[in-house]
Structure 1
Amino acid sequence: MKKLFMSVVAVAIMSSAALANPGAKVIENKASETTTVKNVAAGQYNLRVTEEVEKDAQSKKVTRCKLTMNLVNSSGQVVDTHVLYWNCYGENDMFYETCSDFFRATIKRYQDYYGNPH
C-alpha cells in the first residue's frame, strides 16, 4: 500500500513538472506613446500644451490620454502646471470617444476660464 501511494505521488510530481513548461515565453506589452506639443492662447496667458496618447502594443488600442498644460505668463514664466489623465474605454465611454475629444474639450474649458481670446 505504501509503495502504491509513493508511486502515485511520484507520477503526480513528474506530470506537474512536465506541464509547467519552463521554456514558455513571456509576452511583453510595451505601450507606445505619441506626443504633441503646442501653444494655445488663453487671455493674457498662453497654455503650453503637451498631449500624450498611450496605446497598447498588442491590440493597438488607445488606453490612456495625458494632457499636460503649463500656464505661461507674458514674460515666458510658467505660472501653473496641470496634468490630467483620461483612461479610454472606447466608443462606449460616457464622456469622450477619443483622446482628441478629451484634449479639445479640456483646452476649451481652460481657455474659457482664463479668458478665451476668440
Structure 2
Amino acid sequence: MATETPSPAQKLIGDVAPKLVQLTDDVLFGDVWKRAGLSPRDRSLITVATLTALYRTGQLPSHLRLALVNGVTADELVEAITHLAFYAGWPNAMTAATALKEVLAEQPATEQPTTAHAG
C-alpha cells in the first residue's frame, strides 16, 4: 500500500479544514496553477506581488520559496518588492523584503541565489 506525501496545505490545515485542503490541492494548484496561459514562474511573480500589495504576510514566505523553485531569481524578487514599495506601500515592501531575506537565509549556501546588483 503506497502512502502519499501530504501536501503543504494538508500539513498546515488538513486536520481542521479538509475541504479547503482539497480545493487548494485540486483546484488552485491542480488546475489554476497548471493552466497554459501563464508559466509557473509568471504565476509566482504575480502571486508574490499580490501577497505583498495586500499585506498577506502569512502566505508570503511559502510563495517566495515557490517563486525561487519556479525560476524567479532573488534579484527579480528584490526588484519586484522595490517596485511595489511605490505602488503598494513602503511598510508592505519592507515586510516582503524581510520575508525574502529569511527565505534566502534558509537556502543552503550552494543553492543560494546571488543578489549582487550592478552599480
Query: So what's the TM-score if we normalise by structure 1?
Result: 0.26
Which is higher, the Rg of structure 1 or of structure 2?
1
What TM-score, normalized to structure 2?
0.26
Give the structure with the larger strand fraction.
Answer: 1
Question: Structure 1 or 2: larger helix share?
Answer: 2
